[in-house]
Amino acid sequence: MRIPLDRDDERPLYRQIQEFLRQEILTGALQEGTRLPSTRGLASELGVSRITVSNAYAELEVEGLIYTRLGSGTYVAPGVERILRDREKETGLDHWPPWQQNLVHDSPLYASSKRDRTRALMSAADGTISFAPGIGAKEVYPIRGFLAAVQNVLRRDGSEAMSYGEIEGYQPLRATVSHILSSQGIPTYPEDVLITSGSQQAIALVAHLLLRRGDSVLLENPTYSGAMMVFRALGVRMVGIPVDQGGMKVESAETLLRKAHPSLIYTVPTFHNPTGTCLSTDRRHQLIQLAERYNVPVVEDEFAGDLRYGGQSKPAFKTLDPGGMVIYIGTFSKVLMPALRIGYIVASGPVLKLLQERKQMTDLGTSTLIQRALETYITVGRYESYLNRARRVYRERRDAMEAAIRTYMPEGTTWTSPDGGLFIWLQLPEGLSSSDLYPVAVQQGVSYAPGALFFHDAEDSSYMRLNFALHPSETIGEGILRLGRAVDLYRDMSQT
């Protein structure tokens, strides 16, 4: 393939290749289904490194113009005309009314960044072993039990189950949540529980109630990207605290509390997303004392706290709460199924009433049918036995992933060894960029969540988040083998 390259051009070589191929595809010179040359072939033909060609292909893949079929090659994608039209609508704003144009200019989320491109790449990956999602294994979902629960509820409650319900949530489900939490050592009253549509809504409700544009929030850095999205959209300044094996380095919190006057502390203290670490008991005590002294509420996001496979459990902030300082957030998404969209807030004091009002304004309450079905499905005993099953499966998978990393990843790779949750946080050797490695990994048939997604202040990172719970052990082994191969290849390509 003759691609004219100009080494004096200020555009990088990969961009020149990308733009040439894009032009060929959009004019129809390269038709749907046409196989593109291999990265190796094209690189040697053009006298450039393979990484240059890989980057060009990765960009075209993000644009939806080409796709890679594992073990077969890279092809021109179907539906290019539609993509063209959609893109024109997205990028050209001039034909939209001014209020829409202003919306885009004012939105902190709209701006395209390397992070967004990485996110797009994650969804473009096809036919790969993906360690990227933040969910449990589908084969563990109790589908049959839940089907029976829905049928029972409809038989028992009829149209009641199809009506609006109480804003604060279905009372028997709130009672079940408080029983479960109390049985886990977090004494809770049903009156203090507000059922939400997933814990994402819980984070959004709390943030909208407590934060205003220009406020600051203290959080782990890295942290859960969905929470950062909420803070970013609100125009809130994120003040990050680094994380080590013992979770957030609380030692630096006091200075930041004094300097930044945050309005809220957001923390994922147990099996932290993305690092898998647990905040040590001492640090929990220190942080709650600081929160009280500086009068800053603590939002405790316990998204997977029950998925423990080893180690000692630590006291929840909620149990250390001297009274009214902690807003506890939980979810059934990781332990049961994300499609339930059932999460909850546990809080006491006037803040709970105000959160209920916000909930009412937002959606008039979480699905009555699903709340009732979940309540009939879940008793404390059933929850425990389900948890035990999930724990057994996930523990084995965590061990399988660690063994595979030891076997297949190059020397210098480091990673966290979590006592629970879903994630291993892996650092590539010699500070290699996990975002730059990404297209090569996808071409090798494996994907992950690049570390840059989880830092509020970094466009690049040598870390990646790997979900160990998703796949059976053999698939994990194969996926990590591919990842190791991708690193080798990436290093070779960078040296060419």
Q: Could you give the C-alpha distances from 494 to 3, 88, 233, in angstroms and in order?
A: 21, 34, 37
How would you write 213-238 as a 3-class SS string?
CCCEEEEECCCCHHHHHHHHHCCCEE
**Residues 316, 121 contacting (CB under 8 angstroms):** no
Q: Residues 338 to 377: which contact ligand PMP by CB under 6 A?
A: 338, 343
At its nearest, how many Å lie between ligand PMP and the CB of residue 360?
A: 19
Which residues from 85-124 bind ligand PMP, rule CB under 6 A?
none
Q: Tell whether residue 270 is a contact of ligand PMP (CB under 6 A).
A: no
Angle at 305 between CA 179 and CA 131, to 5 degrees: 135
Q: Does 226 bind ligand PMP (CB under 6 A)?
A: yes
CB of 268 to ligand PMP, least distance (A): 5
**SS3 of residue 194 by DSSP:** strand
Site for ligand PMP, residues 306 to 335, rule: CB under 6 A: 331, 333
Least distance (Å) between residue 339 CB and ligand PMP: 9
**Contact residue for ligand PMP among 18, 130, 188, 199 (CB under 6 A):** 199
Figure out which of the listed residues 149, 268, 390, 469 binds ligand PMP, where binding follows CB under 6 A. Answer: 268
Does 198 participate in binding ligand PMP (rule CB under 6 A)? yes
Select 172 or 226, whichever has its Cβ closest to ligand PMP: 226
Q: Total binding residues for ligand PMP by CB under 6 A?
A: 14
- Among 303, 317, 383, 425, interactor with ligand PMP by CB under 6 A: 303
134 interacts with ligand PMP by CB under 6 A: yes
Task: Please report, to the nearest 10 degrees, the dihedral formed by the alpha carbons of residues 56, 58, 63, 64 taken in order.
Answer: 120
DSSP 324-345: S-EEEEEESTTTT-GGG--EEE
Residue from 273, 366, 434, 461 binding ligand PMP (CB under 6 A):
273
Residue nearest to ligand PMP (CB): 198
The end-to-end CA distance of the chain, in Å, is: 20
Taking the least distance from each CB to ligand PMP, the nearer of 165 and 276 is 276
Q: Quick one: which H or E segment has residue 485?
A: helix 473-495
> Are 247 and 278 contacting, i.e. CB atoms less than 8 angstroms apart?
yes
Exposed/middle/buried for 246, CB within 10 Å: 0-12, 13-18, 19+?
A: middle
**Can you tell me which of 224, 266, 463, 490 binds ligand PMP, judged by CB under 6 A?**
224
454 binds ligand PMP (CB under 6 A): no
Taking contact as CB under 6 A, which single stretch among the options 20-28, 62-70, 195-203, 251-259 is the one that binds ligand PMP?
195-203
Distances 127 to 67, 316, 368, 442, 486 between C-alpha atoms, Å? 11, 40, 37, 9, 16
Q: Enumerate binding residues for ligand PMP (CB under 6 A).
A: 134, 198-200, 224, 226, 268, 273, 301, 303, 331, 333, 338, 343
